[in-house]
Amino acid sequence: MSKPVKLEVLIDEMESQFEGYFYYSNRDTGEIVMVGEEIFTKAEDEDPIDGLEDWEQIEYAQATDILEHPSHYLELPDKEEINEYRMMENFCYSLNDGPTKERLISAIQGRRAFRRFKDQVDQLGLRKEWFAFRKNCYREEALDWCELHGLEYE
């Protein structure tokens, strides 16, 4: 019997993904595992684990298990699939105050949109509201992902 995914853990992992890492949900245990790209490549190539640090050996074992039992794992959506820019855009359009909305919409246009958006959110005193909105978006992404793959969650 599969264990349910812990929704808050899934949301946190989706929110805080690091570049160069793969994230998987183990269908059997409900656990979220993270494996570095370099370690994953070593496992694919069946390179020896001599000289790897203890934590790298743990990652190597996880990567090997993923490769040997791919049906037991589901890769989490990455940052590009989640599209945080769309979240910022939706946040802007969710605001009722016209001038505030316009400042934020202007901030997300062109290069350095993320930086300008963050700066404007801070200047406008909307940091708490933005993080709550963003967290809710990630919650929706996680729920949709669980439902898409038929995963139970708690």
Tell me, yes or no, whether 2 lies in a domain.
no
**Over the chain, what is the mean pLDDT?**
95
The pLDDT of residue 144 is 97
CA angle 87/33/152 to nearest 5° reads: 70
1 lies in some domain:
no
The answer to the question of residue 61 being in a domain is yes
Tell which phi-psi region holds residue 133, choosing left (phi > 0), alpha (psi between -120 and 50) or beta.
Answer: alpha
Is there a domain that residue 141 lies in?
A: yes
Is residue 60 located within the same domain as residue 99?
Answer: no
Same domain, 87 and 54: no
109 in the same domain as 62: no
Does the residue 31 lie in any domain? yes
pLDDT of residue 49: 86
141 and 101 co-located in one domain: yes
What is the pairing mode between strands 21-26 and 73-75?
Answer: antiparallel
Please state the rounded mean pLDDT for residues 48-66: 93
Last residue of a domain, one of 75, 95, 122: 75
pLDDT tier at 135 (50, 70, 90 boundaries)?
very high
Q: Is residue 107 part of a domain?
A: yes
Largest CA distance in the chain: 61
Rounded distance between C-alpha atoms, residue 6 and residue 127, angstroms: 27
Does the residue 10 lie in any domain? no
Q: Is residue 4 part of a domain?
A: no
- 85 and 57 in a common domain: no
Number of domains in the chain: 2
pLDDT at site 24: 98
Q: How far apart are CA 94 and CA 25, in angstroms?
A: 32
Gap between the Cα atoms of 49 and 61, Å rounded: 10
Structural domain span for residue 101? 81-148
Model pLDDT for residues 79-111, shown as the tens digit of each residue: 889 999 999 999 999 999 999 999 999 999 999
The verdict on pTM exceeding 0.85 is: yes
Q: What is the spatial distance between Cα 134 and Cα 54, in angstroms, rounded to a whole number?
A: 35
DSSP letters of 13-43? HHHTPPTTEEEEEETTT--EEEEEHHHHHHH
